[in-house]
Each structure stands twice: as structure tokens, then as C-alpha cells.
Structure 1
Amino acid sequence: GVGYGNVYWISHVSVNQALLGEIALQSLIILLILKVVATSLTLGSGGSGGIFAPSLFMGAMLGGAFGGIARQLFPSLIAPSGAYAIVGMAAVFAGAADAPITSIIMLFEMTRDYKIILPLMIAVVISVIVTRSLSRETIYTLKLMRRGIDIRRLEQTRPMREVTVAEAMTRNFPTVLPTMPIGELVTKLRKTEHHGFPVVDKDGNFCGVVTLSDVEAAMSKGNLEDLTVSDIASKSVIVAYPDQYIHDVLVRFGSRDVGRIPVVDRSNPKRLIGVLRRHDIIHAYTKAVTGKPGA
């Protein structure tokens, strides 16, 4: 006989009986309904429990019931209900976890029967198509979404957690001397596509950053003839280190609303290594995602 209390725990006995075709059709349907209700109540109420074993249980019951009904309708054309139970296990787990390849390989490893591959693949594909049309989340990602964790967004930002500043930055970036007159700086800004330059003295020490905004602010105050870059440059600037990940530096871009960040040696902050621009970050992200350099 079949004990309906099996729905409250992992019951390999009931699954094995379904695979062997030893459970009556009515009992298969009842076990399926009870297991769906029990699993839904447990997980929905915040209780502890997984979905792997329950999905295999429900799949075995569903597949066995389908096979039993089909065998009653077409007794001479239908395989034993146990074969459908095996296919049902793969189909239900594939749909719940959005893991079609895993399900197919797992069930093939269990049976080692090549004849079951085709029906197995058909059932799994149908299951995944149906579940994806109903929800873009799996049973695992749905739990995270309810807690406010968007795993898909984290996946999109993953490349930025793997690419370092050294890989993305621009090396040999043009610099200006602190003694450069403002007039020369304006000319240099006009001739290049850059809106700012790192300031490096004659000894190679990093002194700050001067931007077009600094020039405009100085112009609004009066005569620029006697001013040099050192007079208007920003001395206290945020910097990045070559071993940092892009994701960590992005926060600094947003907090200070800057278009470029100097990259300095961690052991010697006076040594400029390069400049990280927003343009560089876009290039690095495009290359990490597509494998091709950004346009």
C-alpha cells in the first residue's frame, strides 16, 4: 500500500514504486496533489525546505499518472507508466529550476537507456517553454526576488566585478605642468577631445587635476593672464588604484560626478599610472560581455 504521509518527507519508496508502476492511478494523483499543497505551504510560509527532492517526487507522480491514463486509452501503443514517471521527474525539475540540460543528463545517468533520450528531451523542452512563458524566475531566483535581491541585475554587473582598473584605464594620458599658463591650457583643451588633464610636475609627481570646469570658474572671476594651472587645479581629488575592480570605482564616479579618475600607484600615490574615464569603463564592459572591444 501507499502511505499518504510520504508527502511530508523525502520518500524514495514512493518514487521507486512509481518508477516500477506499482502505484495505482488514483493514488498517484492524490500523492501529486498532496505533495504540491504540502510543498507550497511549507515554502510559502517561510519554512525550511528544498525543491529538488519534492520536484522529483511530483514529477514521478505526474509522469506516472499521465502514463497510467495514456495506457488505459491506448493499451497497445503506450509504454509502462514507470517510463513516464522517469520523464516526468526530469520535466518537472527542469521547469522549476530552469535547468534543462542538467535534468536530461541526470535522468539519462539514472537509466543508461538511449531509447528514453528523445521523449526525455521533448518533455523537458516543453516544460521549460511553458514555465518561462509563465514566469522569468526559477524557484530559486523567485525566493531571492521576494527578499529584494535581483540576481539577474547582479549577473549583469558581474563583469564589472571581474575587470580591474589596470585592464580598463588609458595609459600615457596627456598631462600638463602646474606652471603652464592658463592660455596654453585653453589652447590644449581646444585641440584635444579631453575635458581635463592630470597635473604632473617636472619631477613626475602627480599634483592634481585641472578641467574645463576649473577654467570656466576662473574666467568668471576675472583676468586669467597671470594665472597658471597650479592656481586653478583641484589638488584634493579622488583616485583609483590599478588593482581595484571597476565596480568599486563606479561608486566614486557617481558620488563626485566626475568624468575621469586618475590612477596612481598604491605604494606611491605621487606616481601617476593612467586615467580611468567613463568611456574606458564602457569599452571594458562591452569587451567583457561580448568578447569584442567597444565601438
Structure 2
Amino acid sequence: MVSRRELYALCREKLKKAGIDTADFDVMCIFQDMLGEKNPLFLPLEDVPEDKAERIMELTRRRSERYPLQYLLGQWEFFGYQFFVGEGVLIPRPDTELLVENVIEICRREKLTAPRIADLCSGSGCIATALKKELPAAEVYAYELSEQAMVYLKKNAEYNGADIHIISRDVMLDSDEDIPEGGFDIIVSNPPYLTGQEMSELQQEVRHEPTLALFGGNDGLDAYKAITHIWKRHIRKNGWLCYEYGDGQHEYVKNILQQNKFTNITLSRDLGGIYRAVSAQRTEEV
């Protein structure tokens, strides 16, 4: 038998030798998950059951090989809610919480008490689910193409008790199918936005995530061009379109919105000071 403190030290050292900068955090997450305790080192001398020690070591080994921590744990937190994740679905990231905050702020400012919202390229459903939880009176639609991601989307909505409309569709194809009559007050999307160059330079962990959710064309802007052009007519007069985008893409996305006659364009920075999200209003006929 091995104590919690001894096993923790062994796992941390293994990750540090593998060059994992977040070794302490990662091992703590694995311990919390496997032992079911928030503070697993509160009793450092307590022995770890053999079966759990073996599992902890196995997860540590896989993490040392740059397999994503989130996939190893099978769940990850976003906007205070838990989401199931695994291969085939994009891992929710803290930066994307800014997008949810922007939509909530628009609803408060515009006094939209029961908005109709569409989440395009929904993936795990983290955006759609968080919005439904934060705006209970909202009618939320989640559109997703990937069958693998769809499994997680449905599971996450059910797990979090979010009654949302889940629709299988390629949002980059022009069609009026599966659009509710009257359109939407707000359309939100965190589409694929990595460039060809960025895809070739991905960290090993990110290479495990679905290409469909990452690659945005050679310039990273394919989804913004298509979605803005196709979906603008499904936004009600004075409604809003909100995007997340990559570092350095803000002016390009802003130009696409301007070319499509959107106004009141606001760029938002994430906690790292990087321009990360935009909101724009459809005030003119399109």
C-alpha cells in the first residue's frame, strides 16, 4: 500500500519529467476524481486502495503522454456547470465564458426576458446549456453537425436539466429548414477558427480534439463568412449576432460583420487581455 502523499509525489514527478507545466494541478484533479474528495491530501498518510492507486497511476501515465486531462476525467466545468467530454467533442474553455456573459448582458440591457437564442456549432452544448440555465425563460436552439458531439450535447443538456431544442445540421449550408418562425433574437457561435498554419503547430493535447471543431479554413475565417451571410436573415430586426474568435482575428471578423450591414459592433477582451468575442446588431434589412 502507498500513502496519498507518497503517491501524489510519484505522480507529480512523472508529469514534471514529461514537461507538463501544470503537473500539480493535473495530479490534484486526478486525485479528486478518483478519491471523490475535494481535499484528498487533507489526510496525507492515509493509504490509497490498491485498485485506485493503479488507476491513478494509469491516468498519470496517459497524461504524461499528453492526452488531455479533460478527456481523462470525462467531465469539465464551464460557467459553474459540469459537462461530459471525450474524444469527438471540443473541450469547453474558460475564454468561452466571455461569450455567454456577453449574451446575458445583451438580454439584461435590451430587457429581453424571454429571448429566442440559437447556438451554432454547439459541440458539447456548454454555451446553449449555460444560457438556458442562466436565462430560464429563454427558448434555446443548439445546432450541431457532428454525430459524436451530438451524443455529448444531448447528455449534457439532460444532465444539467436544460430544456433546449437540439438539431442536427450543417450551419454553413444555406437552408431554411429547422428555423423557427420569426427567427432569433440572438445568434451565438464559437465556430472553428484555427488557420492552416495553426493546425500544423497544434499542441499535442489539442491534436486529440476534433478537426471539425478547430479548422476554420486556410485563413481561419470560413465559418464567420458563411454563418454571417447565411444566418443574418434569421435574426430579428434589432437582434444580435455574437461570436468568439481567435487571437488577432478581431479586425477580420469585424470587417465581415460590417460588410453584412451589422452595426453597434463591440469587441470584448478575455481575462488575458486578448480580444476574444464580438457582439453586433442587425439594425438594417438584409
- TM-score band (shorter)? under 0.3
Q: Which has the larger radius of gyration?
A: 1
Task: Please state which structure has a larger fraction of its residues in strand.
Answer: 2
Task: Please state which structure has a larger fraction of its residues in helix.
Answer: 1
TM-score by length of 2: 0.21
TM-score by length of 1: 0.20
